[in-house]
Every structure is written in C-alpha cells, then in structure tokens.
C-alpha cells in the first residue's frame, strides 16, 4: 500500500492592504481560548486581514463564536445551527440562538441552509423536511432582526432557491462558499444575493466559480476562508486559517482583471456594509 501524499505546508501570502474574511470557524481551527483567538488573528493581521466573521455550525461552537467577539475586537460572529444538525434545533436551542443573535457583535444569521450531500452518507444527518423547516426558522429570525442570512448549500440548488423565494428572503442573502453552477450564480445575482467565494474557487477544475466572480457586480462579492477547510491553491489539503485568504483574493482579482489591492479593498468595503460595521 502506497504512502499517503504529504500535505503541503502553507506559506502566508504577501500582505494586501485591506482584507475581510467573511466566513471562518476559529473554534474548528483550534482557537478555543482568548490567547489562541488573539494569536490566530495576529497572524491574519500580518497578511492584511483586519476583521473576520466567526461562525459556529452547532450550538456549542456558536456560543464560542460569540464569546470570541469579546476576546478580540477584530472578530464578529454569525449564529445558527448547521443544516445537517437541524434536528438539534429544539425550542431551548431556538430561544438561545434568538438571544445570541441579538448580541451587538453578531452580524449575521448563519450558517443555515440545505445539505443533501450527507443524507445518504451519514445517518446522523437531518432529513430533508427537518432541514427545510429549520431553514424557514432561520429566515424568519434574520428578517425579525434585520440581519443578513448566511446560507450553506451542498447539492441542493433547486430546492434551496425555491425555499428562499417561497419564504420571502430577508434584505440580504449570502451564499457562503459558493460552489454551484454558473446558472445558479446568475439567478442568485439577479435576485440580489451576495456570492461569497472561498479557496475552492482557486482549484483548477472550478473555472465556473472564477467565471461567476468575474460576472458578479462588484458590490455582490465577498471572500472567505471557511477555515479550517478549503485551503486555496497551491496549498490545497492543508489546514486553513484566515491568514491565507490573500491567495484566494489574488486569484479572484485575476479572474476579474483587477488589481489585487483594489479587489481586496472592494470586498472589505462590501463586508463592512453587508455586516453593518
């Protein structure tokens, strides 16, 4: 049996003047104390990252995401229960999420949405009806609090777009880690949604994601790491964190025919506007 190919060791990019990581998971990156959060943010700042939106995928990580906003002024948060865990959205959890969502440093409701990929791969994944009901609950919370809705979508394009429309979207919908076909991108942009691009947009096979970024109006684009996942080329497969977002920014700037500094600045302006900062 052959040896596994060693994972590459990521190298931080040259600094860009202004970067905003619109979606990251500091808890999953191993930053679980005040000192660890500050250390990961110090590394990010060294490459130009001024702020990150820290996201939880379950209630425990969501609590920690909000706590991190108190430990470091460079961190804001989004709160939700991930669609694959929608069965955990009990009345008690809904009440807690509603309270957390009202926190002044919570800037979005997410990541919520639909995930059909795991339905037949993990028996603990919530079924379709449970996921759809949870999505509607999160939509209502976003509308009630007038905060952006941050969407996770995996292999559920048609159903997701239908449910968002039928439920009546909040003022801003962010399609996080956008990974869908170009036709979905075009429909989403026509609806006024924001496309948030992660490191997978740098993978050679994903020319359609670079095309989506190239076609999107400048004000409807965010960039993110989705760390510790989606490490950009040339470090795909390594553990990701916010300091590496500049690699993604440069690749997407190239796709748009823009200077990397200008692209980074535009996406930071977008994030601060969308998140109300």
Looking at residue 1, its pLDDT comes to: 47
Looking at residue 3, its pLDDT comes to: 60
The token pair that represents 256 in the structure block: 């748009």
Q: CA distances (Å), 107 to each of 60, 65, 157, in order?
A: 18, 12, 25
Q: Tens-of-pLDDT digits for all 277 residues of the chain?
A: 456 667 788 999 999 999 999 999 999 999 999 999 999 999 999 999 999 999 988 899 999 999 999 999 999 999 999 999 999 999 999 999 999 999 999 999 999 999 999 999 999 999 999 999 999 999 999 999 999 999 999 999 999 999 999 999 899 999 999 999 999 999 999 999 999 999 999 999 999 999 999 999 999 999 999 999 999 999 999 999 999 999 999 999 999 999 999 999 999 999 999 999 9
Task: List the beta bridge partners of residue 151.
Answer: 112, 175
Whole-prediction pTM: 0.96
Task: List the beta bridge partners of residue 175.
Answer: 151, 195
Alpha-carbon torsion (210, 193, 75, 15), positive or negative: positive
Whether 72 has a binding-site annotation, put simply, is no
Rounded to a whole number of angstroms, the distance between the first and last alpha carbons of the chain is: 53
**Before 234, cis peptide (omega within 30)?**
yes
* Residues in contact with 87: Cβ distance below 8 Å, sequence separation at least 6, in sequence order: 126, 130
Whether 103 has a binding-site annotation, put simply, is no
C-alpha span between 252 and 201 (Å, rounded): 8
Tell me the residue ranges of DSSP E strands in the chain.
Answer: 19-24, 49-55, 75-79, 106-115, 149-154, 173-175, 194-197, 221-223
Residues 91, 58 contacting (CB under 8 angstroms): no
Looking at residue 5, its pLDDT comes to: 67
**Before 228, cis peptide (omega within 30)?**
yes
How crowded is residue 206: how many other Cβ atoms within 10 Å of its Cβ? 16
Whether 23 has a binding-site annotation, put simply, is yes
Whether 82 has a binding-site annotation, put simply, is no
Whether 208 has a binding-site annotation, put simply, is no
Whether 111 has a binding-site annotation, put simply, is yes
């Amino acid at each position: 049996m052959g040896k596994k190919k060693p994972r590459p060791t990521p190298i931080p990019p040259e600094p860009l003047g202004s970067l905003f990581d619109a979606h990251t998971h500091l808890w999953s990156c191993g930053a679980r104390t005040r000192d660890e959060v500050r250390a990961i943010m110090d590394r990010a700042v060294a490459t130009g990252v001024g702020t990150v939106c820290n996201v939880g995928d379950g209630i425990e990580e969501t609590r920690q995401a909000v706590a991190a906003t108190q430990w470091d002024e460079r961190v804001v948060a989004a709160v939700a229960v991930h669609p694959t865990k929608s069965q955990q959205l009990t009345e008690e959890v809904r009440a807690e999420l509603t309270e957390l969502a009202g926190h002044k440093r919570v800037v979005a409701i997410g990541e919520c949405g639909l995930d059909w990929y795991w339905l037949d791969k993990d028996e603990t994944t919530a079924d379709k009806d449970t996921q759809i009901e949870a999505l509607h609950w999160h939509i209502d919370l976003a509308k009630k609090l007038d905060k952006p809705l941050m969407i996770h979508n995996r292999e559920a394009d048609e159903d997701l777009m239908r449910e968002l429309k039928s439920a009546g979207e909040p003022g801003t919908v962010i399609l996080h880690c956008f990974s869908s076909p170009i036709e979905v991108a075009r429909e989403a942009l026509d609806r006024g949604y924001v496309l948030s691009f992660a490191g997978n947009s740098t993978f050679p096979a994903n020319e359609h994601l670079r095309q989506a970024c190239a076609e999107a109006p400048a004000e409807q684009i965010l960039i993110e790491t989705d760390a510790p996942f989606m490490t950009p080329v040339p470090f795909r497969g390594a553990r990701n964190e916010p300091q590496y977002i500049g690699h993604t920014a440069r690749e997407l700037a190239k796709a748009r025919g823009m200077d990397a500094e200008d692209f980074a600045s535009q996406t930071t302006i977008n994030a601060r506007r969308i998140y109300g900062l």
